Amino acid sequence: MSFLLIIRYIHCCKSTFLLGLLGSRLENTLERIMQRSPFILYSYYGTILIYIKLAIQTIDNQLFINGGGGGKKRKK
């Protein structure tokens, strides 16, 4: 859940630097774990970025469906 909040924060700030930093960390972690060719590594890295984009779109859609998610609702 906190990962999605971080992704949401990055999306809100439109911070390419932070997204690149996150990608760099993922790349280093995958490289150590997988010990495979760069082509396979970047394929996994690209897949992770696609999942991040889908998560951001899902969050945006939920906020749109819920009416923006801000403020308190009034009691009738």
71 within a domain of the structure (yes/no): no
Mean pLDDT of 55-71: 72
pLDDT at residue number 65 = 76
The total of structural domains in the chain comes to 1
Comparing 64 with 13, the larger pLDDT belongs to 64
Yes or no: say if 52 and 71 are a contact pair by the CB < 8 Å rule. Answer: no
- CB burial class (10 A; 0-12, 13-18, 19+) of residue 37? exposed
73 within a domain of the structure (yes/no): no
pLDDT at residue number 6 = 63
Comparing 54 with 32, the larger pLDDT belongs to 54
76 within a domain of the structure (yes/no): no
Q: Is the pLDDT of residue 13 over 60?
A: no
Q: Is the pLDDT of residue 40 over 70?
A: no
72 within a domain of the structure (yes/no): no
pLDDT at residue number 47 = 76
